[in-house]
A and B are shown apart, each in its own frame.
Chain A
Amino acid sequence: MSKITRRQFIKISGATAGAAAAASGLMTHWWGADAPSGPDPKTDGDKVIPTFCEICFWKCGVLAHVKDGRVTKLTGNPKHPLSRGRLCPRGLGGTGLLYDPDRLKKPLVRVKKRGEDVFEAVSWDKALDEVAEGLLKLKDKYGPERLALFTHGYGGSWFKHLVKAYGSNNIAAPSYAQCRGPREVGYWLTFGQGVGSPEMVDIENAKCITLIGSHLGENMHNTQVQELADAIGKGASLVVVDPRYSVAASKARYWLPIKPGTDIALLLAWIHVIIKHKRYDADFIEKYAIGFDQLKEHVKDKTPEWAYAITGLKPELIRDSALFLSSFRPASLIHPGRRTTWYGDDTQRLRAMSIIAALLGSWGRKGGYLIPSSMDIPKFPYTKYTYKPKFVADKPKESLYPLSDETLASGLCDATIPGVTPYDLKGWMVYGTNLLQSLPNPEKTMKAIQALDFIVSIEVLPVELTGWADVVLPECTYLERCDNIWAPAYKQPFIAVRQQVVEPMYESKPGWWIAREIAHRIGLEDYFPWKDSMEYSKYRVKAAGLDCHKLQEDGVILGKKVPVTIEEGLSLTFDTPSSKIELYSEQLKNLGFDPLPEYRPQSQPPPGMFRLLTGRAPMHTFGRTSNNRFLSQCYPENEVWVNAEVAASLPEFADKPLRTGDRVMLVNQDDARSGPVKVRVTQRIRGDSVFLVHGWGHTARGLKYAFGRGASDSILTTKFKVDPIMGGTGLNCNFVRLEPWHGKTAGEQEAKA
């Protein structure tokens, strides 16, 4: 083959097509600019409709391309501050949900025993009448507060309104007690406010970003990952604390492969180093904080050498990383993370992180934490809720978990098991959350469901939970419906609209319609005076003095930018009892908790067992997308990560050492089993832990793609430790062993059949 140099190539490109082909003497075939080439796949839409995403809960701005009534592709809305023209992989795969052949197509009514997953397809009228009858009976027999609503996702707003109008305040999302709750409470104790969603962090201007267990990059909250890349592009450094060599760890200046469950010891040692070497922002602390002296005294003996014995991290690594990250203050961001429910002492761990953020003076600072605001959008006027809500039934005693500021989904589940709380819940309405995966210990959830008088599920896919419902109402996807408008607190405040992109498929219906129809059947029509969600949203937009047409056209309207940092002229205030940053928490002390975070040892896996850690893959939003065939093209099932040295030395696999791709069963300390799951033998994880991406191992047969693929971490999470401060469920307390597997997977058997 003759070699063509760059120089020659340039000459050729400059010549006319025919001459070039002749002159080159190569067999290269050359066409001119007008000759046929790669055909245009013509996936641009005839219509391009802006809306916002629901594949995760970040809610990025989407442009949906529609051609001949079908959505051909989804792209990022350049005008939307969360997508900035780019979607994450999951958002790009929204069509995989819309065109999922396994979607719920018709309303269903249970015909056999609850949980047997046998249903009859019925008309909407029949299904809605049945729901209305169930709700009215429940109210008559026990009172309205016996109904619980579990909800996750933006469409849930209609059902929250419905259930409040009905007379119950027992409304919860698993995103609190199973996810970000400890973080909100930890920061609230220190600074008087939580960090919210989207998190109020200034990643793009940070010079150093410290991730503690958070794996941004695998966790694809779009704007955060965009900003992380921008920060890296500008030369920012990363410090990553993770038992697993995450993608973020691979980009970090310091990776601290910590022994799981010992983070508080590391954080105390970091505080020790920062104070000892006077690397904190003394002016900031002097001006805004109280409790510094107590903190200094508290960490006096929490040396890196002390932490070494606990965390397994060498003293010099602890010292160097603390000096390194503090050298960038205030633009040194201790990222607050998101799923923070690990060991039941989570609020205290988040307190320790917030204390470091305060010492670095990064609260309300460029490259640190921002203090954002939202646009003021008036509510739609409707009849006021008349009921006097009984106290929420999510705690066995009112004195427990005193600082929970949202209802505990796990608590409402417990309250359904007779006699656990002062009054038992008797009915469930479940919107958009698969409680058999999103709550720990699914056995317990099933037990609770069996004690119910009535359960209705509003869902898009036939997930495990719908199999346990009495009535299943098929909702259409976010691309087929309008929802409430959204105006979150953000550094650039904005209002965004979710618009219907295509007609609902099958007999599915939008949530707003379902809620309104139920309301009309149970005498609550006064609470739903709007014709449809568009009328509702338009009223609110107009009442805010904004242009509906522009909002529909652009998908988003930006609000006035106000100062979000001290540098921009913001003056800091703290909604704490002292009106200061509380390094030392009198509030915690008065409630009988540690006023400063203490390290207390966690139980460790017995020999032959490994701590089960979970996290995310960038192509999936836990169980919500595991049946999404488009997204599964790049990630068909989860794998269990096993340390390479460990894999070579497991006695169960002495005959045939484990290799990547082999399948194993995972068995936990209570003999709960999950799998068979593929093994990923890797250097990228500690030997005392294994890792699974959350949301796999589906047992619902209706999920024809996801059924039997991978392992369910939920099934293996029979044990959890409750955070005594706010009731969060620490999920990283389970140990598993690996068992050989020789059979075919359920998925493979189905495929063969």
Chain B
Amino acid sequence: MSTSKNNSFGRPGVRYAMTMDTRRCVGCNACVFACKAENALPAKGFRDWITYTVKGNFPALSELIRSERCNHCSNSPCTTNCPTGASHVGPGGIVLVDRGMCTGCKACIASCPYDARYVHTDGFVDKCTFCVHRVKRGLDPACVSACPTKALAFGDLNDPDSHVSELLRYRKHTVLKPEKGLDPNLFFLL
């Protein structure tokens, strides 16, 4: 999904998801910088980040690099635990925070097993929005558009012809903390 022609935003039955290809990713942080610039985030605010997991002992080593962010869980404890209704599920299953309704109580932060949220300098809780303002216009999230290795893809999981559906059909993949049963929509291609 990258043109406005096949803009699925607001259509019923859409389930947005992101795939992150760990084979392509070099952990360069372009996704992080693109997000920070696109969303004008404060210095200490991060909506996405890179993790590097090294296993083994020299010289028998392996490393897995992931670009992580909110998993936009289909079963999202952050929204169910939000006392004010600020954290909510938006169109296409995108988990969002209504800044005006957020009191900064951090119940959502406590309930998120992925540590995907932070308190913005302006007092509200902030997190990845899948760049909903771009998705509305039929654009990919900023991190997806920016990634030099094309490790990230975004689209409608319920559309069998979408790039993400195709990738998940043909590539071995995993989600983070499947045991939590949150049905996350961020998939890691192995």
Q: Given A6-B183, A14-B12, A37-B98, do A27 and B79 touch, yes or no (CB 8 Å)?
A: yes
Residues in chain B near residue A9, CB distance under 8 A: 15, 74-75, 93, 183
Q: Given A3-B75, A4-B183, A43-B38, do A251 and B23 touch, yes or no (CB 8 Å)?
A: yes
Please give the distance in Å from B78's CB to the nearest CB on chain A.
10
Partner of B34, one of A28, A37, A92, A686: A92
A631 interface residue (CB < 8 Å to B): yes
A76 interface residue (CB < 8 Å to B): yes
Listed stretches A216-224, A508-516, A587-595; interface member: A216-224
Please give the distance in Å from B66's CB to the nearest CB on chain A.
13
Interface string of A1-44 (1 = CB under 8 A from B): 10111100110011100000000001111111101111111010
B158 interface residue (CB < 8 Å to A): yes
Interface string of B46-86 (1 = CB under 8 A from A): 10001000101111011101000000001111011110010
Residues in chain A near residue B129, CB distance under 8 A: 37-38
Partner of A73, one of B38, B57, B62, B97: B38
Partner of A1, one of B58, B77, B96: B77
Contact B98 A33 (CB under 8 A): no
Contact B89 A75 (CB under 8 A): no
Contact B99 A39 (CB under 8 A): yes
B163 interface residue (CB < 8 Å to A): no
Complex CA gap A630/B44 in Å reads 11
Contact A92 B146 (CB under 8 A): yes
Please give the distance in Å from B185's CB to the nearest CB on chain A.
10
Q: Given A245-B61, A618-B26, do A13 and B14 touch, yes or no (CB 8 Å)?
A: yes
Residues in chain A near residue B181, CB distance under 8 A: 3
Interface string of B1-38 (1 = CB under 8 A from A): 00000000110111100000101111111101110111
Interface string of A616-644 (1 = CB under 8 A from B): 00110000000001110111000000011
Contact B10 A233 (CB under 8 A): no
Complex CA gap A747/B50 in Å reads 26
Residues in chain B near residue A26, CB distance under 8 A: 80
Residues in chain B near residue A226, CB distance under 8 A: 148-150
B88 interface residue (CB < 8 Å to A): yes
Partner of A6, one of B21, B74, B82, B88: B74
CB within 8 Å of B: which of A294-344? none
Residues in chain B near residue A89, CB distance under 8 A: 28-30, 32-33
Contact B26 A225 (CB under 8 A): yes
A493 interface residue (CB < 8 Å to B): no
A87 interface residue (CB < 8 Å to B): yes
Q: Given A10-B15, A86-B148, A217-B28, do A29 and B85 touch, yes or no (CB 8 Å)?
A: yes
Complex CA gap A74/B145 in Å reads 12
Contact B93 A683 (CB under 8 A): no
Contact A630 B133 (CB under 8 A): no
Residue of A nearest to B126 (CB): A38
Complex CA gap A630/B30 in Å reads 12
Contact B28 A220 (CB under 8 A): yes
Residues in chain A near residue B104, CB distance under 8 A: none
B178 interface residue (CB < 8 Å to A): no
Residue of B nearest to A235 (CB): B23
Complex CA gap A630/B38 in Å reads 13
Complex CA gap A586/B68 in Å reads 55
Please give the distance in Å from A6's CB to the nearest CB on chain B.
6
Complex CA gap A471/B97 in Å reads 53
Residues in chain B near residue A633, CB distance under 8 A: 32-33, 36, 43, 46
Please give the distance in Å from B75's CB to the nearest CB on chain A.
4
Residues in chain B near residue A685, CB distance under 8 A: 58
B87 interface residue (CB < 8 Å to A): yes
A229 interface residue (CB < 8 Å to B): yes
CB within 8 Å of B: which of A201-236? 216-218, 220, 222, 225-226, 228-230, 232-233
Please give the distance in Å from B8's CB to the nearest CB on chain A.
11
Residues in chain B near residue A134, CB distance under 8 A: none
Residues in chain B near residue A504, CB distance under 8 A: none
Report the contact-size class of chain A (Cβ under 8 Å from the partner): 35 or more
Residues in chain B near residue A37, CB distance under 8 A: 88, 90-91, 94, 96, 98, 129, 132
Interface string of A72-104 (1 = CB under 8 A from B): 111110000000011111001101000000000
Partner of B32, one of A38, A39, A629, A634: A634
CB within 8 Å of A: which of B143-189? 145-151, 158, 181, 183
Residues in chain A near residue B149, CB distance under 8 A: 225-226, 228-229
Interface string of A276-293 (1 = CB under 8 A from B): 000000000000000000
Partner of B24, one of A36, A38, A216, A233: A233
Residues in chain A near residue B39, CB distance under 8 A: 41, 43
Contact B30 A88 (CB under 8 A): yes
Partner of A29, one of B62, B82, B99, B133: B82
A494 interface residue (CB < 8 Å to B): no
Contact A630 B27 (CB under 8 A): no
Residues in chain B near residue A468, CB distance under 8 A: none
Residues in chain A near residue B46, CB distance under 8 A: 633
Report the contact-size class of chain B (Cβ under 8 Å from the partner): 35 or more
Please give the distance in Å from A4's CB to the nearest CB on chain B.
4
Partner of B40, one of A32, A72, A644, A683: A72
Contact A28 B30 (CB under 8 A): no
Residues in chain A near residue B43, CB distance under 8 A: 629, 633
Residue of A nearest to B77 (CB): A1
Q: Given A3-B181, A38-B133, A225-B28, do A250 and B33 touch, yes or no (CB 8 Å)?
A: no
Contact B93 A13 (CB under 8 A): yes
Q: Given A38-B97, A225-B149, do A29 and B87 touch, yes or no (CB 8 Å)?
A: yes
Contact B58 A257 (CB under 8 A): yes
Complex CA gap A255/B63 in Å reads 13
Contact A29 B28 (CB under 8 A): no
Please give the distance in Å from A591's CB to the nearest CB on chain B.
39
Q: Given A14-B12, A86-B148, do A634 and B29 touch, yes or no (CB 8 Å)?
A: yes
CB within 8 Å of A: which of B96-145? 96-100, 129, 132-133, 145
Residue of A nearest to B149 (CB): A229
Residues in chain B near residue A4, CB distance under 8 A: 74-75, 183
Please give the distance in Å from A55's CB to the nearest CB on chain B.
11
Contact B13 A245 (CB under 8 A): no
Partner of A643, one of B32, B58, B96: B58
Interface string of A675-687 (1 = CB under 8 A from B): 0000000111111
Residues in chain A near residue B87, CB distance under 8 A: 29
Contact A92 B37 (CB under 8 A): yes
Please give the distance in Å from B155's CB to the nearest CB on chain A.
15
Residues in chain B near residue A451, CB distance under 8 A: none
Contact A619 B54 (CB under 8 A): no
Residues in chain B near residue A544, CB distance under 8 A: none
Partner of B58, one of A15, A93, A634, A684: A684
Residue of B nearest to A217 (CB): B26
Contact A225 B33 (CB under 8 A): no
Contact B146 A76 (CB under 8 A): yes
Beyond A245-B58, A255-B61, A257-B59, 18 extra complex contacts between A and B, CB < 8 Å: A5-B183, A28-B80, A33-B91, A36-B100, A38-B97, A72-B40, A85-B145, A95-B37, A222-B148, A228-B26, A229-B149, A229-B150, A229-B151, A233-B150, A250-B61, A250-B65, A634-B32, A644-B57
Give 20 CB contacts A-B under 8 Å. Answer: A1-B75, A1-B80, A4-B74, A13-B12, A28-B88, A30-B88, A88-B28, A92-B30, A95-B37, A217-B28, A220-B148, A225-B26, A233-B21, A245-B59, A247-B65, A619-B33, A633-B36, A645-B58, A682-B54, A684-B61
Top 8 A-B pairs, shortest CB-CB distance: A229-B149, A217-B26, A38-B129, A33-B10, A250-B63, A40-B133, A29-B88, A618-B28
